[in-house]
């Protein structure tokens, strides 16, 4: 790990956002991950996305489980709230936090091990409840933190660093989320920040559960010949089947998308997601169409990227459960804890 | 699909940077590049940090010859160029640190070049014993030349001796560094003004160097100028003071002009009895020629600066100067030009006036029929690279070549002229200059350890300590600046950003993981498809608007054929890019410029 602190010098040419903050105000502590880890790039993508969205850092809650990926919330938004949950248990904590205060922005960072092995059940239910959060899986096909064992997202036949082939099929988080009814599903690559940042911004603006699967190579344990999650392999097999631009609220839309045959989705906060280039026969608004497209193309070995599915009309957890508008932290003690007489009254109702 | 686009070279793209051209990395070392003599600043600052004062002194001496003198008086073009001025506000106190090395060094006599007892049979005459001629002698004596210096005065040093006052430059410091050269066996002839170039040439020297400076102070021909003897020419007056011919001045003194000379005249006046000293300037402050610190020094000594006043007439009554009439001006800008109008006229009483409005060259002693051509302004035609005039074998340098500059330029000229003289005497064309070269050495000591201090230090620029305002006026010789104390030195050396420790990139090793780009605190790095430079500059993580600073452009990268670009402008040489690079594609390597002086070989190592 680097011994020196990152100098707190600000390039005078750095753009300030509406809050007067530069991108460096969205940083966190210096990363302790391996040099070249894809996760650090995703961290930078998150920093840029929040800066570009003019989000006040202290209005964000960052949550994670266990893993190299789950360490990364420390490395962005030093002024945000945070919680490092037990392995695979981040969705429960996120659910509770969100229920208690729906006015904050929630972002969960997880790994393929954290989400698809130990935490698969938690992830499934967070999707099912349509928890209003951005959920990033930094997907490297291995348990990086525990020294590179195959994870559940490792492809069948992919080789480990020592040369053994993986004998199980992979759990694909995108197909999983599609089948569980997720309302925003995307895939990107840590090595393509332009696409990543654009997707992250749309995912943050989305109301409900936004799953972003980011191929994020483990440079130490899974970047060799024979790996299907290496920088090289990923670059050779990526195919951006949906190209979209995120246009924040109050910004003029300059593309004539109606004419170009492209589609636009208005997000719940009024920002717009413009689909400018979509593969032949693809419709990111139809769950069945996306599912069959993905199934059909799975054998080709290509890695489809972009905002693969989006549905802004779904009801999120707060609507479904009619949660309180006011954050519980702002509700007075009297109201939160009305006393034993009130409790008795309530209990009587159930008798 | 974006990853397969071929972004290799074509007409619309920038060629990969040739970092083995010494100029590229030299330019990154802003101070060294700005220094006319190209002193290796960061290296000597590190030596000072390690307490290696003598090494630091000798490294300075290699290029600037007079570290002790320059550590006090240099015009320091390096400081405004210092990277630190872009990253924060104030430059590293480069000049002051040079003085630290000079003050704390040990005896260097053992480390001075050996002078061959067997001479090479070539005789060189230098005219004038200023820094330009002394540098020529310094470079040629070790090569076996017999150098003779003809000097008008009875001491050596040029204006450093006759004009720079002792309270800025103690005589002891001057003597030591001038003597180091004279003691190489230079044949110096004092009180020998050269009155005829023709006669000198007839003496059969193999080469002649003219280092006579710009010895004539400019006149101000206004009514009353010659009716009194209380009006002095600045440089002549300072010379008289330096040699003890003048020891006092009247109480009320007006100094006309705002340059170097004016500053020294007013501070000297204050030490010779003047109580009321005013500097008269025609223009507003921002157009002053003097460096800001020069005026600060004068103002600290309660010298008043009157701007927007233009001299009109000396008021003389019965042969006695009683004041000066001045027009008060108002300035406005029109089409890039400053135009003035007169508001009114004022009279300022005074007992003496010193004219410090500039110096001129004057070569009445050079005959015009001996092949040395002059231009309309009576300046010799001198080649900018070889310093040779139109007569082969005769060279000019220092203030004599193109008018008044300063010491470090005189030294730089001296080195170049010495190369020409050496070529000329060896029968080589003077245009054949020895090639510069460079070395690059990795500074990596461990995974995250470097041989230099890569941690950015936020310390503010150290302040100079001065002798207090009462004490300093007691004697002309009291040096006002006390130098840095050990604490200030220790802090100041850490402010240097080690700009010579370069970020060296090897494109074949890069896996395009973005780690370097993500970590860089000043967002200097970008990977992007190649394009023409103006376009590239716009596409960077932070657009590169400082066109004075170069872009490094790599060759096409393996996976995507994009290029790695580094904007050199704001890099603080923190090494984080190299620490975060998983493959060692970035490394921190110390650049050393090989800068051959006379008699030193061209760089030959194959790239
Ligand atoms: C008041 C003042 C203050 C200055 N302060 C600074 C400063 O702080 N820092 C700085 O960098 N620069 C300063 N300068 C400028 C600097 O001193 C000169 O640029 C520098 O000395 C020029 O060096 P030189 O070798 O070309 O000539 P000079 O130093 O001018 O030396 C020329 C020598 O030639 C001799 N000479 C002239 N004609 C003849 C002849 N015909 N025969 C024989 N000998 C002759 C002269 O007597 C003199 O000794 C100052 C200048 C002045 C006037
Ligand atoms: C309950 C529990 N079981 C097992 C572990 C050991 N463990 C730590 S991290 C990890 C896997 C992390 O993999 P992933 O989520 O993919 O993160 P990566 O390091 O690859 O980013 C495991 C199994 C643990 N910390 N806690
Ligand atoms: S082990 Fe792998 S996942 Fe973990 S920090 Fe290192 S490169 Fe990243
Ligand atoms: S920081 Fe140091 S090396 Fe860099 S320009 Fe300034 S003095 Fe020179
Ligand atoms: S050394 Fe590297 S990381 Fe540091 S400022 Fe320079 S380019 Fe950026
Ligand atoms: Mg993993």
B261-304 per-position pLDDT tens digit: 999 999 999 999 999 999 999 988 887 776 766 778 888 899 99
Phi, psi of B343 (to 5 degrees): -90, -55
- Give pLDDT, residue A256: 54
Nearest partner of A213 among A309, A111, A285, A315, judged by Cα: A111
Decide: B495 in ligand 4 pocket, CB within 6 A: no
Other CB atoms within 10 Å distance of the CB of residue B527:
19
- Give pLDDT, residue B4: 34
Q: Which ligand sits closest to the CA of A229? A: 6
> In chain B, how many H helices and how many E strands?
21, 25
Nearest to A4 among B2, B454, B512 (CB): B454
Residue B365 resides in a domain: yes
- Indicate which CATH number applies to the domain containing B552: 3.30.70.20
Residue A7 resides in a domain: no
Query: Is A1 a residue whose pLDDT tops 80?
Result: no
A310-346 per-position pLDDT tens digit: 999 999 999 999 999 999 999 999 999 999 999 999 9
- Give pLDDT, residue B1: 29
Residue A17 resides in a domain: no
DSSP-assigned states of every residue in B28-78 = HSHHHHHSTT---HHHHHHHHHTT-HHHHHHHHHHHHS-HHHHHHH---TH
Q: Are residues B226 and B349 in the same domain?
A: yes
Q: What is the side-by-side order of every strand in the sheet holding B320-334?
A: B309-317, B320-334, B337-349
Residue B453 resides in a domain: no
The answer, for B542 touching chain A at a CB cutoff of 8 Å, is yes
The last residue of one of the domains, among B357, B382, B407, is B357
Residue A196 CA to ligand 5 centre (angstroms): 24
User: Which chain B residue has the Cα nearest residue A44?
Assistant: B518
For chain A, state the CA radius of gyration: 21
Q: Are residues B272 and B373 in the same domain?
A: no
Contacts with B88 from chain A: Cβ below 8 Å: 9
Contacts with B455 from chain A: Cβ below 8 Å: 3-5
Nearest partner of A242 among A195, A171, A307, judged by Cα: A307
In DSSP terms, which residues pair with A242 in a beta bridge?
A278
- Give pLDDT, residue B299: 86
Q: Are residues B326 and B350 in the same domain?
A: yes
Residue A275 resides in a domain: yes
Structure tokens at B1: 């699909």
- Give pLDDT, residue A254: 62
Enclosing domain of residue A233: 23-348
B330-385 per-position pLDDT tens digit: 999 888 888 899 999 999 999 999 999 999 899 999 999 999 999 999 999 999 99
User: Which chain B residue has the Cα nearest residue A304?
Assistant: B1
d(CA A195, CA A199): 6
- Give pLDDT, residue B9: 44
Torsion over CA: B478, B480, B481, B487 (sign): positive
Residue B455 resides in a domain: no
A159-209 per-position pLDDT tens digit: 999 999 999 999 999 999 999 999 999 999 999 999 999 999 999 999 999
Mean pLDDT of chain B: 94
Residue A2 resides in a domain: no
- Give pLDDT, residue B71: 98
Residue A14 resides in a domain: no
Can you state the angle between helices B53-64 and B94-104, rounded to 10 degrees?
Answer: 120
The answer to whether the CB atoms of B582 and A36 lie below 8 A apart is yes
Looking at CA atoms only, how far is residue B15 from chain A in angstroms?
A: 24
Residue B442 resides in a domain: no
Q: Are residues B208 and B253 in the same domain?
A: no
Q: Which ligand sits closest to the CA of B190? A: 1
d(CA A209, CA A133): 5
Q: Are residues B269 and B345 in the same domain?
A: yes
Q: Are residues B207 and B237 in the same domain?
A: no
- Give pLDDT, residue B103: 97
**3-class SS letters over A338-351:** CCHHHHHHHHHHHC
Exposure of B424 in the CB half-sphere (CA atoms within 13 A): 25
Nearest partner of A29 among A49, A63, A64, A4, judged by Cα: A4
Q: Name B97's Cβ contacts closer than 8 Å, sequence gap at least 6.
A: B44, B45, B48, B71, B484, B489, B492, B493
The last residue of one of the domains, among B425, B446, B474, is B425
Task: Assign A252 a pLDDT band (cuts: 50, 70, 90).
Answer: low
Residues 51-70 of B with CB under 8 A from A: none
- Give pLDDT, residue A259: 46
The answer to whether the CB atoms of B1 and A239 lie below 8 A apart is yes
d(CA B412, CA B417): 9
The answer, for B527 touching chain A at a CB cutoff of 8 Å, is no
What is the number of structural domains in chain B?
A: 4
Q: Are residues B285 and B310 in the same domain?
A: yes
Contacts with A43 from chain B: Cβ below 8 Å: 518
Query: Is A258 a residue whose pLDDT tops 80?
Result: no
Residue B57 CA to ligand 4 centre (angstroms): 17
Query: Is A78 a residue whose pLDDT tops 50?
Result: yes
The answer to whether the CB atoms of A6 and B560 lie below 8 A apart is no
The answer to whether the CB atoms of A9 and B88 lie below 8 A apart is yes
The last residue of one of the domains, among B402, B425, B448, is B425
d(CA B493, CA B97): 8
Task: Assign B7 a pLDDT band (cuts: 50, 70, 90).
Answer: very low
- Indicate which CATH number applies to the domain containing A162: 3.40.50.970
- Give pLDDT, residue B607: 42
- Give pLDDT, residue A253: 63
B465-475 per-position pLDDT tens digit: 999 999 999 99
DSSP-assigned states of every residue in A179-198 = HHT-SEEEEEETT-HHHHHH
B95-141 per-position pLDDT tens digit: 999 999 999 999 999 999 999 999 999 999 999 999 999 999 999 99
- Contact between A185 and A309 under an 8 Å Cβ cutoff? The reply is yes
B173-204 per-position pLDDT tens digit: 999 999 999 999 999 999 999 999 999 999 99
Determine which helix (DSSP H) or strand (DSSP E) holds B317, and give its type and residue range: strand B309-317
B231-241 per-position pLDDT tens digit: 999 999 999 99
Q: Are residues B209 and B152 in the same domain?
A: yes
Residue B41 CA to ligand 4 centre (angstroms): 7
User: Beta-strand (E) ranges in B369-408?
Assistant: 394-396
Q: Are residues B346 and B404 in the same domain?
A: no
Torsion over CA: B342, B345, B346, B350 (sign): positive
- Give pLDDT, residue B605: 66
Cα B603–B606–B607 angle (5° rounding)?
105
d(CA B455, CA B371): 59
- Give pLDDT, residue B288: 78
Model ipTM value? 0.91
Place of tokens 């970047």: A223
Q: Which residue has the higher pLDDT, B605 or B209?
A: B209
Residue B599 resides in a domain: no
Nearest partner of B68 among B174, B159, B181, B163, judged by Cα: B174
Nearest to A36 among B449, B576, B581 (CB): B581
Residue B454 resides in a domain: no
DSSP-assigned states of every residue in B419-438 = HHHHHHHTT--TT-PPPPEE
Please identify every residue whose CB atom is under 5 Å from ligand 6, which is an ion.
A 111-113, 140, 144
Structure tokens at A296: 């059909």
- Contact between B430 and B127 under an 8 Å Cβ cutoff? The reply is no
Nearest partner of A200 among A126, A314, A105, judged by Cα: A105
User: Which chain B residue has the Cα nearest residue A217?
Assistant: B513
The answer, for A219 touching chain B at a CB cutoff of 8 Å, is yes
Q: Are residues B527 and B590 in the same domain?
A: yes
- Give pLDDT, residue B269: 96
Q: Name B269's Cβ contacts closer than 8 Å, sequence gap at least 6.
A: B249, B253, B255, B277, B352, B354
The answer to whether the CB atoms of B511 and A232 lie below 8 A apart is yes
- Indicate which CATH number applies to the domain containing B280: 3.50.50.60
Q: Name A271's Cβ contacts closer than 8 Å, sequence gap at least 6.
A: A202, A205, A246, A247, A248, A249
Of how many residues is chain A composed?
351
- Give pLDDT, residue A264: 86
Contacts with B522 from chain A: Cβ below 8 Å: 7, 9, 11
- Give pLDDT, residue B285: 83
Of how many residues is chain B composed?
607
- Contact between B396 and B389 under an 8 Å Cβ cutoff? The reply is yes
Enclosing domain of residue B332: 217-357
Nearest partner of B359 among B395, B406, B294, judged by Cα: B406
Nearest to B574 among A4, A35, A219 (CB): A4
Task: Assign B8 a pLDDT band (cuts: 50, 70, 90).
Answer: very low
Least confident of A134-138, A173-177, B5-9: B5-9
Residue A288 resides in a domain: yes
What is the number of structural domains in chain A?
A: 1
Exposure of B387 in the CB half-sphere (CA atoms within 13 A): 32
The answer to whether the CB atoms of B581 and A35 lie below 8 A apart is yes
For chain B, state the CA radius of gyration: 27
Decide: B235 in ligand 1 pocket, CB within 6 A: yes
Nearest partner of A32 among A67, A68, A86, A84, judged by Cα: A68
Cα B511–B514–B520 angle (5° rounding)?
130
- Contact between A101 and A323 under an 8 Å Cβ cutoff? The reply is no
d(CA B538, CA B317): 68
Q: Are residues B105 and B127 in the same domain?
A: no
Exposure of A2 in the CB half-sphere (CA atoms within 13 A): 27
Phi, psi of A212 (to 5 degrees): -120, 115
Residue B59 resides in a domain: yes
* Phi/psi-derived region of residue B261, left when phi > 0, alpha when psi is between -120 and 50, beta in every other case: alpha
Residue A90 resides in a domain: yes
- Give pLDDT, residue A262: 65
Residue B162 CA to ligand 1 centre (angstroms): 8
Looking at CA atoms only, how far is residue A32 from chain B in angstroms?
A: 10
Task: Assign B260 a pLDDT band (cuts: 50, 70, 90).
Answer: confident
DSSP-assigned states of every residue in B538-580 = HHSSS----TTSPEEE----TTT--EEEEEGGG-----HHHHH
Q: Tell me the C-alpha to C-alpha distance, in Å, between residue A319 and each of A131, A206, A288, B78, B545.
A: 10, 14, 25, 66, 50
Q: What share of chain B has pLDDT > 90, as a percent?
A: 89
Residue A162 resides in a domain: yes
Query: Is A50 a residue whose pLDDT tops 80?
Result: yes
For chain B, what is the largest distance between any 2 Cα atoms, rounded to a whole number of angstroms? 94
- Indicate which CATH number applies to the domain containing B64: 1.10.1060.10
Contacts with B448 from chain A: Cβ below 8 Å: 1-3
For residues B81-100, give the mean pLDDT: 96
Q: Which residue has the higher pLDDT, B1 or B411?
A: B411
Q: Which ligand sits closest to the CA of B134? A: 1
Q: Are residues B301 and B334 in the same domain?
A: yes
Looking at CA atoms only, how far is residue A10 from chain B in angstroms?
A: 7
């Amino acid at each position: 790990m680097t011994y020196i602190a990152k100098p707190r010098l600000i390039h005078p040419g750095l753009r300030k956002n509406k809050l007067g903050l530069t991108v460096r105000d969205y940083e966190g502590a210096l990363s302790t991950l391996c040099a070249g880890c894809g996760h650090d790039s995703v961290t930078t993508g998150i920093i840029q996305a929040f800066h570009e969205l003019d989000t006040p850092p202290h209005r964000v809650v960052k949550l994670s489980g266990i893993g190299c990926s789950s360490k990364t919330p420390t490395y962005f938004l030093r002024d945000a709230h945070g919680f490092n949950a037990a392995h695979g248990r981040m969705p429960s904590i996120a659910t509770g936090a969100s229920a208690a205060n729906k006015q904050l922005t929630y972002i969960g960072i997880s790994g393929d091990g954290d989400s698809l092995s130990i935490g698969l059940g938690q992830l499934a239910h967070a999707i099912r409840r349509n928890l209003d959060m951005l959920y990033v899986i930094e997907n490297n096909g291995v348990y990086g933190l525990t020294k590179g064992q195959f994870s559940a997202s490792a492809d069948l036949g992919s080789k480990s660093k020592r040369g053994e082939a993986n004998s199980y099929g992979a759990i694909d988080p995108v197909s999983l989320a599609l089948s569980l009814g997720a309302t925003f599903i995307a895939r990107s690559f840590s090595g393509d920040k332009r696409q990543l940042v654009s997707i992250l911004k749309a995912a943050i603006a989305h109301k409900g559960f936004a799953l972003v699967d980011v191929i994020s190579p483990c440079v130490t344990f899974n970047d060799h010949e024979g790996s299907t999650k290496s920088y090289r392999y990923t670059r050779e097999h990526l195919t951006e089947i949906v190209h979209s631009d995120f246009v924040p609220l109050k910004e003029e839309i300059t593309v004539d998308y109606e004419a170009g045959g492209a589609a636009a989705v208005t997000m719940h906060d009024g920002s717009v997601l413009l689909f400018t280039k979509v593969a032949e026969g693809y419709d990111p608004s139809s769950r069945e169409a996306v599912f069959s497209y993905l199934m059909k193309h799975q054998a080709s070995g290509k890695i489809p990227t972009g905002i693969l599915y989006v549905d802004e009309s779904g009801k999120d957890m707060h609507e479904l459960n009619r949660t309180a508008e006011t954050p519980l932290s702002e509700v007075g003690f009297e109201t939160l804890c009305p006393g034993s007489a009130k409790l008795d009254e309530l209990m009587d109702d159930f008798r | 699909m974006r990853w397969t686009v071929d972004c290799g070279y074509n007409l619309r793209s920038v060629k990969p940077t040739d970092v083995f051209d010494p100029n590229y990395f030299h330019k990154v070392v802003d101070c060294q590049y700005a220094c006319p003599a190209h002193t290796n600043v960061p290296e000597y600052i590190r030596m000072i940090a390690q307490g290696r004062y003598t090494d630091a002194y000798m490294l300075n001496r290699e290029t600037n010859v007079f570290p002790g003198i320059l550590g006090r008086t240099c015009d320091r073009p390096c400081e405004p160029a210092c990277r630190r001025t872009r990253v924060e506000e104030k430059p590293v106190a480069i000049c002051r640190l040079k003085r630290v090395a000079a003050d704390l060094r040990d005896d260097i006599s053992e480390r001075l070049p050996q002078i061959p007892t067997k001479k090479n049979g070539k005789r060189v005459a230098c005219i004038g014993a200023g820094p330009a001629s002394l540098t020529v002698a310094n470079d040629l004596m070790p090569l076996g030349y017999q150098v003779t210096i003809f000097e008008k005065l009875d001491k050596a040093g040029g204006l450093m001796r006759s004009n720079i006052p002792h309270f800025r430059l103690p005589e002891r410091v001057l003597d030591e560094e001038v003597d180091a050269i004279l003691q190489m066996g230079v044949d110096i002839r004092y009180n020998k003004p050269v009155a005829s170039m023709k006669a000198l040439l007839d003496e059969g020297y193999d080469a002649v160097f003219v280092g006579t400076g710009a010895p004539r102070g400019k006149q101000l021909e206004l009514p009353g100028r010659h009716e009194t003897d209380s009006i002095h020419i600045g440089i002549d007056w300072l010379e008289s003071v330096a040699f003890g011919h003048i020891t006092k001045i009247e109480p009320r003194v007006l100094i006309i002009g705002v340059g170097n000379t004016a500053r020294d005249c007013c501070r000297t006046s204050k030490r010779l009895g003047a109580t009321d000293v005013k500097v008269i300037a025609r223009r507003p402050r921002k157009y002053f020629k003097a460096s800001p610190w020069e005026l600060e020094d004068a103002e600290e000594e309660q010298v008043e600066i009157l701007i927007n006043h233009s001299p009109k007439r000396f008021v003389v009554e019965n042969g006695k100067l009683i004041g000066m009439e001045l027009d008060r001006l108002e300035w406005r800008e029109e089409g890039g030009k400053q135009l003035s109008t007169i508001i009114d006229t004022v009279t300022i009483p005074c007992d003496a006036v010193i004219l410090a409005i500039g110096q001129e060259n004057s070569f009445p002693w050079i005959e015009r029929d001996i092949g040395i051509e002059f231009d309309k302004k009576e300046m010799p035609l001198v080649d900018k690279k070889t310093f040779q005039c139109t007569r082969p074998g005769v060279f000019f340098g220092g203030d004599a070549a193109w008018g008044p500059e300063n010491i470090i330029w005189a030294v730089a000229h001296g080195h170049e002229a010495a190369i020409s003289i050496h070529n000329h005497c060896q029968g080589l064309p003077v245009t054949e200059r020895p090639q510069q070269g460079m070395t690059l050495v990795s500074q990596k000591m461990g995974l995250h350890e470097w041989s230099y201090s890569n941690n950015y230090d936020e310390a503010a620029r150290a302040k100079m300590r001065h002798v207090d305002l009462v004490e300093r006026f007691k004697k002309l010789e009291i040096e006002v600046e006390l130098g840095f104390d050990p604490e200030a030195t220790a802090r100041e050396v850490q402010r240097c950003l080690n700009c010579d420790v370069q970020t060296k990139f090897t494109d074949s090793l890069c896996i395009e993981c973005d780690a370097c780009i993500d970590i860089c605190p000043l967002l200097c790095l970008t990977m992007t498809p190649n394009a023409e430079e103006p376009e590239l500059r716009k596409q960077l993580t932070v657009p590169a608007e400082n066109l004075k600073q170069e872009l490094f452009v790599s060759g096409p990268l393996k996976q995507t054929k994009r290029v790695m670009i580094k904007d050199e402008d704001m890099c603080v040489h923190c090494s984080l890019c190299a620490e975060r690079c998983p493959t060692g594609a970035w490394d921190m390597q110390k650049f050393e410029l090989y800068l051959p002086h006379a008699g030193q070989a061209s760089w030959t190592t194959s790239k």
